[in-house]
Amino acid sequence: MANDVQHITISVGALNNGLRPGPKIVSGYGGQTVHGAQIVQSAAGTQAVNLVDLGTAGIAVVGTLATLGSSVYVAGTPKDFTVGGTAYIGEGHYIGVEEINVGTTATVTVVYVQMVEGKSRS
């Protein structure tokens, strides 16, 4: 149903100034809107991370869905992304994680995303 929250997990791993594609948004349901996202790392450090739309090829940023910017991490402690007002990702696009050349994410880094079907924002 359109109002059901769907959860996905993106295993990021160690990433420095690069992109890590996650799942492709399935076609036929009107895309997805991100309503929340969190990141957890196994080690302390400072990184700059965004949740992004990687287009239909999954290799280049075509939009930013949620930001965290440069942030100091405590091992095992989740941090919330700031979700943008237009956090919509279209059908057939890959959702992914971008690290923007501020340190390197920990070997065990995971991003959790909560989305609903279609274009919405509450």
DSSP class of 25:
P
Q: DSSP for 53-65?
A: E-TTTTSS--EEE
pLDDT value for 58: 95
Q: What mean pLDDT is reported for the chain?
A: 92
The CATH architecture assigned to 6-116 reads Sandwich (2.60)
pLDDT tens, residue by residue, 2-55: 568 899 999 999 999 999 999 999 998 889 999 999 999 999 999 999 999 999
Query: Residue 109: is its pLDDT beyond 80?
Result: yes
User: Count of CB atoms within 10 A of residue 91's CB?
Assistant: 14
pLDDT value for 121: 62
Which residue is associated with the tokens 């995303």? Answer: 113
Q: Residue range 80-95: average pLDDT? A: 94
DSSP class of 26:
P
Q: Residue range 97-112: average pLDDT? A: 92
pLDDT value for 2: 54
Query: Residue 122: is its pLDDT beyond 70?
Result: no
Interior angle at CA 26, CA 63 and CA 58, nearest 5:
40
101: confidence class by pLDDT, cuts 50, 70, 90: confident
Q: If we measure between CA atoms, which residue out of 26, 82, 73, 76 comes closest to residue 51?
A: 82
